[in-house]
Amino acid sequence: MDDGSPKTDADWRELLSSEEYRVLREQGTEAAFSGKYWDEKRPGIYRCRGCGSLLFTASAKYDSGTGWPSFYETVNNDAVKTEADKSLFMARTEVHCSRCSGHLGHLFPDGPQPTGLRYCVNSCSLELDQTEASRDSLSRDEPNSSSGEVSDG
Ligand SMILES: [Zn+2]
């Protein structure tokens, strides 16, 4: 398992395919309808391709028609971090894995209820986990990581 320790650029190049590296480490975007999960409908949980951190559940995935996997919510408030990306002609919100800082995709305010959010994520940033253990870890999702901050759900 990944221990969460910082990785060097060389580590990432070894761990990831060239496409995964381009998306996760260089803020790239895969071509629409090209990824393996845009039309994925099986149950399970989606982990970060870079570090295995739990990011989204399949139950929060919906068909946005964009050609990228889309989710209306993350598994919890700490799973991802967002930051404004104003480098392009239009302002977008970047979504990164809060654990390894890998670039996942973008966040848009045009998703379905109850959140009204659309996490537009690259397939190659994700790994679908369908094991029993994954469901178990999801149901026992306790904030036991280091800082001891309070989660108000
Ligand atoms: Zn990660």
Question: If you search the block for the tokens 């940033």, which residue do you land on?
Answer: 125
Asked if the model's pLDDT at residue 133 lies above 60, the reply is no
**Residues annotated as catalytic (active site), given as ranges:** 120
Residues 37-91 have pLDDT tens digits of 999 999 999 999 999 999 999 999 999 999 999 999 999 999 999 988 776 666 7
Residue 17: inside a domain: no
Dist. CA 51 → ligand 1 center (Å): 4
CATH code of residue 51: 2.170.150.20
Residue 37: inside a domain: yes
**Residue (of 141, 4, 105, 118) closest to 65 by Cα position:** 118
Dist. CA 30 → ligand 1 center (Å): 17
Dist. CA 39 → ligand 1 center (Å): 22
How many domains does the chain fold into?
A: 1
Residue 135: C-alpha distances to residues 50, 87, 90, 128 (Å): 20, 38, 38, 12
Domain region containing 89: 31-135
